[in-house]
Amino acid sequence: MNANPSLHSDQDRGDGSLKYILSGDGAGDLFIINENTGDIQATKRLDREEKPVYILRAQAINRKTGRPVEPESEFIIKIHDINDNEPIFTKEVYTATVPEMSDVGTFVVQVTATDADDPTYGNSAKVVYSILQGQPYFSVESETGIIKTALLNMDRENREQYQVVIQAKDMGGQMGGLSGTTTVNITLTDVNDNPPRFPQSTYQFKTPESSPPGTPIGRIKASDADVGENAEIEYSITEGEGLDMFDVITDQETQEGIITVKKLLDFEKKKVYTLKVEASNPHVEPRFLYLGPFKDSATVRIMVEDVDEPPVFSKLAYILQIREDAQINTTIGSVTAQDPDAARNPVKYSVDRHTDMDRIFNIDSGNGSIFTSKLLDRETLLWHNITVIATEINNPKQSSRVPLYIKVLDVNDNPPEFAEFYETFVCEKAKADQLIQTLRAIDKDDPYSGHQFSFSLAPEAASGSNFTIQDNKDNTAGIFTRKNGYNRHEMSTYLLPVVISDNDYPVQSSTGTVTVRVCACDHQGNMQSCHAEALVHPTGLSTGALIAILLCIVTLLVTVVLFAALRRQRKKEPLIISKEDIRDNIVSYNDEGGGEEDTQAFDIGTLRNPEAIEDSKLRRDIVPEALFLPRRTPAARDNTDVRDFINQRLKENDTDPTAPPYDSLATYAYEGAGSVADSLSSLESVTTDGDQDYDYLSDWGPRFKKLADMYGGVDSDKDS
C-alpha cells in the first residue's frame, strides 16, 4: 500500500460526536481504524502471494445513540506485487537418460521452475533458463527449459554419467532478478556399437575318446564392451574337420562358449580335430554397421586321447525269430562284438541270467550263437527280451551289453474253444427252426490269415437230436430248434456236444457242451419257470409215491390235532398240595433274559411233589458236565423218505440231554425253494396257565395245498 486510506463523513463537525467503525477481511487484525478521524492503517506487512485482495466495510455512527449517521461504505484493497520470490524448480534433482552416440540436439529432459510473483504485473514472474554446468555436452533452451545433447558421438564406454546444473532467473534474466538452480543427473544408455572380441586367436583342449555325446570339453569367451542384451554373444562352429563331431553352446549367465562332444569319438580313426568358432552379437543396430562386422572368430584344436574301450556289438539291438515247436538246442541266430582298440583283444559271450531267469536260451561263448535250452510256448510268452554280454578275455572289466529280442512264431497247437460257458433255454411252445443261442469261439493261437472256425454237432448227437447247429461262416454259429414244442416234465435239460475246428495246419478241434433248459414262457417268449418239481420229482418219483407222501403228511397232522385235544383235557396239578408243604425257593439269575433255561435253581416240580424226587433222573434244565457236541444230520434230499427223516429227527430230540425242558415245539421242515407255506409255532405254550388253544391247527385244511412243498414234525417231551 502506497498510502493509508481514510474515511470521513459529511456529518462530522469535528466535535467528537461521531465514531468510525471498521469490519470485513482482516478488520481489527490486519487493519484498524481511528474511531475519531477515520484513518485506516495496516498493522502487519502484507504478502500478495498469501492474499492479493481485501474487502472492508466502514461506517460512521453517533457516539451517544449508536445509530449510523450514513449508510455503510465498502472498500476494496488490492495489494501491489513486488519481486520478492525467486524461481523454484519442481524437483530438486532431475534424473534423465539418453542413448550414447546420439545426434546433436537429441532431447534429454525438460526442467520447470515457477515464480510466486504476479505474472501480470511487470517481469517479476518471467523466468529464463541457462546452463551453469554441463557444457559442452548439453544445452538448455532459455524459455522452455528443454535440455538437449550438444556434442556428437558421446561414448558410454568412455564416460557414462554427467551432472548438469540449470539456473532459472526471473525479471527476464535482467540484472537484479532473483534466481534458483537445480541439478540434472544424465546417464548415457548403451547401444550395440562394439563387436565381440576373442582375447586370443587359438584355443587347445583334450578329451578321451570314451566321452559320450554332450560331454563338455572346454570353454571359450569373447569380450564385449557393451552391456545388457547388447553384450549377448552367440557362438557357432563355422568350419573345420570336426564340424559334425563337436558342437558349441552359449552359457547365458557367463556368455561363454562351451565346446561339447556331438558324436562318439574314435582315437583309432582320428586323433586331432581343428575347428573355427565364431562369436557374434544377436542384436545388431544397422546404423553402426559402418564400424565393421559385429563378430570375431578363433581356432580351436581338440586332441583325442586313447582309452581302453569295451567290446562293441555290430548292432545296437538284435531281433530274432523262432517257431514255438522248435526242439531243444535249436540255433536261433548269433550276435557279434569286437574290441575297438588297436590290440583287438578276443571276446567271449554270455547271457545275463537276470533277464533269462528260466534259462530258456543259451549262447556259445566263442562265436555268439544263440540256441534254445528249453521248449517254447508262444501262448505263454510271445516275446523274450534278454541281454547278451560281451567281455574282453584279457580284461574282464571291459564288457558291454546288447538287448536281444526273440519272437516266438505261432504254431497251430491249441484247439478252439467256446468264448464262454453257454447255458440257454428253450420255451415249451417253441417252433421248429427257432434260434435260441449264438455261439462264439476263441483260440489261443494267432494264425497269419486270422481265425476261421467251423461248428457242428458231435457225431454221436447229430442223429436224433432235438436241435441243429448252423455255421454262420463268420466264426459264430447258431443253435436252432428242430421240432415244435418241448415238455419240461419229460425232459428238462438237454446237453448238446458241439465240435469246434480251426482252419489251420494241423487242424485242431475240441468239443464243448451247451446246456439247454426247457422252460415255461409267456406269449412273448420270456422265460417264466424252468423247474418241473411241482409235477415231476427230479429223481423220477411216480404219482403213487407222491400220493403216499401226501398221506403221511395227513396222518401227521391228525396226530398233532389229537395231541392238542388230550393236552387241553389234562387236569392241572396244584402248585402246593398242603399248607405244611411250603418251602423257600431261592432263585438266582446271573444274567438278563427270562425263561426256564435261565434259572439256576432246582426243578420247580419238587415243590409240587417232594416224594417224586429221583436222584438218578437226568436234569434237562441243566447242561451236563460231559460235553455233548451237536450232531449234524445231513439235510434231506429230494429223494429222501419223509417218514424216515421225521422219525430220525424225533428220536434225536428225545435223546438229546441239551434239549430245552418242558413244553417245546421242534419243527423239522424241508420246504424246498419258493415254498409259500406258513410256519407253525408253539411259543405261546409257555404261558403260566397251561391252557393253550390249539384250534389254529384246524386252519390247516385250507392250507393243505400250500403244504405240498413242506414237510414238518412236532416233538414234545414226556412231561408236556
Tens digit of each residue's pLDDT (9 = 90 or more) over 118-171: 777 767 788 999 999 999 999 999 999 999 999 988 999 899 999 999 999 988
CATH number for the domain harbouring residue 30: 2.60.40.60
Stated as kind and residue range, the H or E segment containing 168 is: strand 161-169
- Encode 256-294: b = buried (16+ Cβ within 10 Å), e = exposed: bbbbbbbeebebeeeeebebebbbbbeeeeeeeeeeeeb
**pLDDT for res 606:** 46
What pLDDT digit, counting tens, does each position of 4-18 carry? 667 677 777 777 778
Give a yes or no: residue 680 inside a domain: yes
Same domain for 270 and 285, yes or no, is yes
**Contact by Cβ (8 Å): 439, 476:** yes
Same domain for 557 and 694, yes or no, is yes
**pLDDT for res 4:** 64
Please tell me the least confidently modeled range out of 45-49, 111-115, 354-358, 422-426: 45-49
Stated as kind and residue range, the H or E segment containing 138 is: strand 138-140
* Distance set, CA 333 to CA 166, 208, 319, 385, 697 (Å): 93, 35, 9, 14, 90
Q: Name the residue among 539, 477, 488 with its Cα closest to residue 516.
A: 488
Same domain for 557 and 686, yes or no, is yes
Same domain for 548 and 657, yes or no, is yes
The percent of residues above 70 in pLDDT, for the chain, comes to: 76
Evaluate the omega torsion of the peptide bond into residue 293 and state whether it is cis, within 30 degrees of 0. no
Handedness of CA 663, 664, 665, 666 (dihedral sign): negative
Same domain for 337 and 400, yes or no, is yes
Give a yes or no: residue 240 inside a domain: yes
* Rounded Cα distance, 344 and 349, in Å: 15
pTM over 0.85: no
**Helix extents (H) in 488-603:** 543-569
Same domain for 225 and 123, yes or no, is no
| Mean per-residue pLDDT over the chain, rounded | 79
135-140: long-range contacts, CB 8 A cutoff, minimum separation 24:
137/162, 137/164, 138/108, 138/162, 138/164, 138/186, 140/111, 140/164, 140/166
CA–CA–CA angle 178, 182, 188 (5° rounding): 150
* Distance set, CA 431 to CA 426, 494, 676 (Å): 10, 17, 34
* Rounded Cα distance, 42 and 19, in Å: 19
* Rounded Cα distance, 93 and 547, in Å: 126
Place 84 in a pLDDT band, splitting at 50, 70 and 90. Answer: confident
Question: What's the one-letter identity of residue 404?
Answer: L
What pLDDT digit, counting tens, does each position of 524-574 carry? 888 888 875 443 334 445 555 567 778 888 888 888 877 777 766 554 444
Q: Name the residue among 425, 424, 429, 432 with its Cα closest to residue 522.
A: 429
**Helix extents (H) in 283-439:** none
* Rounded Cα distance, 111 and 128, in Å: 11
Same domain for 279 and 299, yes or no, is yes
**Helix extents (H) in 412-524:** 459-462
Give a yes or no: residue 195 inside a domain: no
Cell numbers at 667, concatenated: 419243527
Using the 3D structure, point to which of 505, 529, 553 is the last residue of a domain: 529
Strand runs labelled E in 416-508: 417-418, 423-427, 435-442, 454-457, 467-471, 476-481, 493-501
Give a yes or no: residue 9 inside a domain: no
Q: Is 549 in a helix, a strand, or coil? A: helix
Same domain for 333 and 265, yes or no, is no
CA–CA–CA angle 350, 352, 358 (5° rounding): 110
Q: Name the residue among 353, 411, 359, 416 with its Cα closest to residue 382.
A: 411
Residue 225 DSSP code: S
What pLDDT digit, counting tens, does each position of 293-325 carry? 788 999 999 999 988 889 999 999 999 999 999
Strand runs labelled E in 503-542: 509-521, 527-529
Give a yes or no: residue 451 inside a domain: yes
Output Rg (C-alpha) for the chain, integer angstroms. Answer: 62
**Burial tier of 15 (Cβ tally within 10 Å: 0-12, 13-18, 19+):** exposed
**pLDDT for res 337:** 96
Residues 6+ apart with CB under 8 A from 490: none
Using the 3D structure, point to which of 305, 335, 366 is the last residue of a domain: 305
291-297: long-range contacts, CB 8 A cutoff, minimum separation 24:
291/193, 291/195, 292/195, 293/195, 294/192, 294/195, 294/196, 295/195, 295/196, 296/195, 296/196, 296/197, 296/198, 296/222, 297/198, 297/238
What pLDDT digit, counting tens, does each position of 195-234 carry? 899 999 999 999 998 899 999 999 999 999 888 888 899 9
Q: Name the residue among 558, 568, 502 with its Cα closest to residue 698.
A: 558
**Contact by Cβ (8 Å): 373, 360:** yes
Residues 6+ apart with CB under 8 A from 630: 658
**pLDDT for res 641:** 59
Same domain for 404 and 493, yes or no, is no
**pLDDT for res 537:** 39
Instruction: Say whether pLDDT at 348 is over 60.
Output: yes
Same domain for 260 and 338, yes or no, is no
Using the 3D structure, point to which of 287, 305, 323 is the last residue of a domain: 305
Place 177 in a pLDDT band, splitting at 50, 70 and 90. Answer: confident
How many folded domains does the chain comprise?
Answer: 6
**Contact by Cβ (8 Å): 113, 99:** no
* Distance set, CA 566 to CA 346, 682, 701 (Å): 111, 16, 20
Stated as kind and residue range, the H or E segment containing 651 is: helix 642-654
**Burial tier of 362 (Cβ tally within 10 Å: 0-12, 13-18, 19+):** middle
Question: What's the one-letter identity of residue 290?
Answer: Y
**Burial tier of 592 (Cβ tally within 10 Å: 0-12, 13-18, 19+):** exposed
* Distance set, CA 506 to CA 213, 378, 415, 447, 632 (Å): 53, 16, 10, 12, 56
Give a yes or no: residue 622 inside a domain: yes
Instruction: Say whether pLDDT at 175 is over 90.
Output: no
Grid cell 447229430 is found at 462
Range of the domain at 206: 202-305
Same domain for 566 and 687, yes or no, is yes
Same domain for 609 and 698, yes or no, is yes
Give a yes or no: residue 536 inside a domain: no
What pLDDT digit, counting tens, does each position of 561-617 carry? 777 777 665 544 444 444 444 444 444 445 444 444 444 444 544 444 444 444 444
Cell numbers at 387, concatenated: 541281454
**Contact by Cβ (8 Å): 68, 59:** yes
Distance from the first to the final alpha carbon of the chain? 142
* Rounded Cα distance, 547 and 553, in Å: 10
Work out the average pLDDT over 97-114: 93
Give a yes or no: residue 582 inside a domain: no
